[in-house]
Structure formats: C-alpha cells, structure tokens
Structure 1
C-alpha cells in the first residue's frame, strides 16, 4: 500500500530533473547519448504516470473514480504496456548504439548521431504504440452500473482464441524475453571487442603499464562502457525475477492463486515491484557515474527555488535555458527588458 506512492514521489521528480539536466547538454555526453538517455527517462516517467499512478495507486486509494470505467481502464492498460515496452526497447537501442560506437569504427560516424538516434527512438515509439492497440479491445467489464461498464477483466476469448494466444506470446517474447537475450549478447560482444582492442593498443604503444591510465581513447571508451554496463546491469537485475516467474507460470500452467500467502503470487507481485523500481534508478546511476550530472543535480537539490526559465542571446539567436542565474563567471539574466552578460571584465549590455 505504501510502496507505490513512495516510488511515484521519488521517481516522477527524479525523471523530470534527469530530462531537464540532460537536455541542457552540460554533462559531457554526446548529443546522441543524451538523446537516448532523455527518451529513456521520458518512457520511465510515462510508466510511473500510467502504471504506478493510474493503475496501482488508483486501484488502492481511489477505486471508484472515472478511471475505473472499462473504456478508460482499457486505454490506461494499453498506455502502461506501451510505456513498459518503450522503456525496455529504448534501453536496447541505447545498448546497440554503444555497441556500434565501440566496435564498428566505420559505421560509427554515420550511425552514432543525434539524427539517427531521433529516427531510431521515433521508430521504436511508433512500432510499439501500434503493437499495443489490440489491448484496447481485450477487456470486458467486471460489472455494469447504469449501463456503464466498470472494471477491466480479460475476455474469455483472450485465453482461448488462437489469435489472442499468439498475440500474447508475441507480446511476452518482445518484452522481456528477446530484449534480455539482446542485451546479454550485445554486452558480451562489446566486452570482447574492448578487451581485444586494449591488448592490441598496449602492444602498439609498447607500454608495460596499465594502458587505461595513459591512453585517452581507451579512457573515453571506459567511461562510456561503465555507463552502458550500469544501465544494462540494472535492467537485467530488475527484470530477472519477472522472467523467472513468467517461465514458471508457463511450465506449470499455473494461473490462479489459492491465497495471498501463495509463493507464486508473492513472487509475481515482487517481480512487478522490482520492475517499477527500475523506473527511478537510472537517475541515481547517472549521479554516481557522471561527475557533471552529479554537479548539476546538487544544484537542483540545494537551490530548488532558484531554478527559473531564462532567455539568452547566442550568435544572434534567442534561446531558452532552465537553470540558476548568477553562477560562475558566465551569467545571463533579464533586467528591465535588456539581456546582459556579466564576464570577468565587467558587464556587457546586449540589445533587446
């Protein structure tokens, strides 16, 4: 009863702050990587809103609202499934991008760009939004009130008709069975390539010392790989319980729990709790691994009331920026309709 409100209270602000910080481009990450991380945080935020708030919390604390109407809760279920798929497959897209960036030098220049990242993430969103539309037609009301369907329960045909059974297997294969295999495969290939390149570069440099401490290229790759393995490892750890439970359900044909103390039911509930925990852990991963992200996060935590929307003039263009004014020696703020920049040499007043 308390777990999901805590997840929402922590996860929603964490993902919003992550999106804003990464959007500013001050974390030392490429625009391509930043784009993937922003879309991943956005999908996690959608999971928190659609699944945690509108389903888990609403069912416990507000069971009689309009969200309980059959058409509405069918749409919310579809939205929650789509958000979960996007969260998983955007992680796959990020992992594949890092594999290309590390292992395929010729393809990296063309693939690891913000434009390609936008096309990939847009395609993923379009495909999985389309894939989950049938869920809107998979539910029947639990009961009716004044000829209005209330509640959502899968139709009997969902379990018996061949088309629905096939659709269910496709859905479960796409999330999470295939993604788990792909993440493991891509990480193994990436690690193998990095170890091979490290040995080759060490021979070419002819150094007897640890090449990671002397080679700027390998140091850059090492930081990128730490971020990749942290995100991928977090995904695998939090999804493994769900995968095991799903396999056990299918192997034993177990569908109904006898009581709340049933071990399979406890495992099932625990697996979903871990999945939803994964929607707010990436922010803390970035804070631990990325120094510049951690510095920006500290500013947001220490001075939340000073965060404002500021406007600046860059090469004749007007841009908006969210941040804290009067910071360091390069500060831009609005006063009496004029844009002013304060530098080391004094104050420069720009035209409106």
Structure 2
C-alpha cells in the first residue's frame, strides 16, 4: 500500500520484464545503433542524427527500465536511487526525442523556408543535446524518492503535497504533452500534404510535357512514411498508459487495485516497454537501404570465417 503505481517504481511491473523480452529488446537496439552510425541508409544526416539518438535512448530504457526489474530486489540504496532516476531520464529522452523528430519532419515538409535553417545536422545535434539535458535535470528529483535502507518509496513521496505536485507535473510532461504534440504535428503534416497534393495535381494537368511520375513526391514519400509509422507506433503503444495516467490524475486514486484496473496498468506498461524496441523494425520495414545495411552489419563478424573457408 505504500507504492504509487508507476511503471518505473517498485515491483509491480516485474513480471513484464522477463529475461526473454530483455534479450529481444537489447540486440534490436544495438543493431539499429550500429547500422545508423554507418551512415549508409540513404537518409539525410539530420534524420540519421535523430534516429540514432532515439535508438540510443531506447537502449537506455532497456538498460535502466526493463533489465533492473528482472532482479529488482537485489538492489540497495544508492544503486536503486540511480537506476530509478536514470529510468525516468531514459524514458523522457526517448519520448521527447520522438517529439523532436516529428517536429523536424513537420518543418521539413510544411515550412520550406524554415527547413533550410532548422533541418540541418548541426540543428539536430543542438536539439538532441537540449532534450537530453532537460530530460536529465527535470528528473533528478526522482533520486530522492527512496530514503530508507531498502529500495522502497518514502512516505514523503506518498503524502507530501510537493511530491504530489511534482508527480502530477511529471505525468503531464511525460507522456501526455508529447502524446498531444505528436498528434497535432501529424495533423498539420497530413493537412499540408493533402493541400500540396491537390495543388500539384492541378499544376501537372496544366503541364503536359511534365513527366508522368512526380519525382519530388517520390523522394519525400520515404520520409513521410517513416514519420507516420513512427508516430503511429508511439501513439498506439502509449495510448493505454496515457489513458491510465489520465484516470489516475482525474480521480486522484493512487491505490486502486481492482483486477480490471491492475490489468489495464500492466498492459499499458507492457506496451510502453515494447515501444523501446519497435523502431528498429519500423526502419527495416519502411527503408530498403536500412534493411540492406542490417544484413551487412549482421554478416560483418562472419566475413573473416567465410573468406577463410573460400580460400
């Protein structure tokens, strides 16, 4: 009864982080990091920076938010304080980097003048650094939620108004605000694409000498598909968790333990955890060159053996 039901705190979600799931998550993110760092996926340097940062953040989520839950009760302060804090930091970084990438693609598609200055490799690096630092500083207070000799949430966190205000603010900033921002940015992007498509069709009808295929739209299609797929994955995998947080915040019931409510919480946590390993598969599905690079990365360690066998 002393624990509020958080995905990152306590032992409530231990059953979700089985060793099998852990071993599935980690290699997928590592392969994505290695593949993207080679810079041969046919993506712009700006997009590659964002995707690489997102892959690193997802890997940190696996390290600090999923793996520790398998052996949670073996930790003692201050180890559990650090792991708990980094769990929140990694989740916040992953979520807000998704927002940053969505904003970057919205600017690139909808605002051509701003695109020249904003959608650059340097601009992406600055945004990633700012998001990472803000994610770190805004989640430092979680370090002080454990104050006993065991990894147990302190009574101050449960009953203090200051901690309740901080907890409520955290729920709003991650993931409610990012969830709404991603929805809004995608609506803006879809509206612009529809309007632009209509205008371009009319223009092409007036120019009979123009080629049948619109090469510019083809070049932008991959980026648009990647954006919408990532956004849809984030929204679908986080929506259960967002709804649960909204119910908690509105009803202010932190100790509801009805079977249906607990099942909803566990499903939300499970889907949230899955969101940390799906991006690599999304890249593989939507990007042909990424699939080829993944094959090259996987084959690379075995090349000396194959060359030796052929010689």
TM-score by length of 2: 0.88
1:162 aligns with 2:161: yes
- Contact kept, 8 Å, 1:7 with 1:280, in 2: the verdict is no
Are 2:25 and 1:11 equivalent residues in the alignment? yes
CA distance 1:256–1:208, shift in 2 (3 Å)? farther
Pairs within 5 Å for 1:13-92: 13-54=27-68, 56-59=69-72, 63-64=73-74, 68-92=75-99
- Superposed CA deviations along residues 156-206 of structure 1, whole A, max 9, x for unmatched, are 222333322221121111101100110000000001011111111111121
- Mapped partners of 1:235, 1:43: distance in 2: 14
Matching residue of 1:123 = 130
In 2, Cα distance between equivalents of 1:307 and 1:273: 40
Distance 1:296 1:214 in 2: 28
2-side partners of 1:273 and 1:307: how far apart?
40
Q: Deviations over 1:272-318 (max 9, x none)?
A: 1111111111111111110001111123345543389xxxxxxxxxx
Q: Is the strand fraction higher in 1 or 2?
A: 1
**207 and 273 in structure 1: CA distance in 2 versus 1, 3 angstrom threshold:** farther
Q: Give CA deviations for 1:93-116 in whole Å, capped at 9, x if unaligned.
A: 000000010011111011100100
Conserved? CA contact 1:300–1:307, under 8 Å: no
Unaligned runs of 5+ residues in structure 2 are: 1-14
Q: Which residue of 2 aligns with 1:177?
A: 176
Structure 2 residue 111 is matched with structure 1 residue 104 = yes
Bigger Cα displacement from structure 2, 96-105 vs 162-171: 162-171
* TM-score normalized by the length of structure 1: 0.78
Richer in helix (by share): 2
Structure 1: distance between partners of 2:285 and 2:232: 15
Instruction: Tell me which of the two structures has the higher relative contact order, counting C-alpha pairs closer than 8 angstroms and 6 or more residues apart.
Output: 2
- Indicate the larger mover: 34-43 or 264-273: 264-273
Q: Does 1:283 align with 2:306?
A: no
**Deviations, residues 65-113 of structure 1 (Å, cap 9, x unaligned):** xxx2122101111000000000000000000000010011111011100
Please provide the CA RMSD for this pair: 2.4
- Whose Rg is larger? 1
For residues 115 and 213 of structure 1, the distance between their equivalents in structure 2, rounded to whole angstroms, comes to 37
- 2:81–2:146: 8 Å Cα contact kept in structure 1? yes
The number of residues matched between the two structures is 293
1:212 touches 1:218 (CA, 8 Å); kept in 2? no
Which SS does the other structure have where 1:220 is aligned? helix
For 1:170 and 1:158, locate their aligned partners in 2 and report how far apart those are by CA, in whole Å.
14
Alpha-carbon distance between aligned partners in 2 of 1:21 and 1:237, rounded to the nearest angstrom: 26
Unaligned runs of 5+ in 1: 142-148, 309-323, 326-352
Who is 1:272 aligned against? 269
Question: What is the Cα deviation at residue 258 of structure 1?
Answer: 4.7
| 1:6 to partner: Cα distance | 2.2
Per the alignment, do residues 258 and 282 of structure 1 end up closer, same or farther by CA in structure 2, a change over 3 Å counting?
closer
Q: Do 1:103 and 1:190's aligned partners in 2 also have CA atoms closer than 8 Å?
A: yes
Mapped contact 2:97–2:128 kept (Cα < 8 A): yes
Distance 1:3 1:172, change over 3 A: closer
C-alpha distance in 2, partners of 1:151/1:3? 18
Partner of 2:296: 299
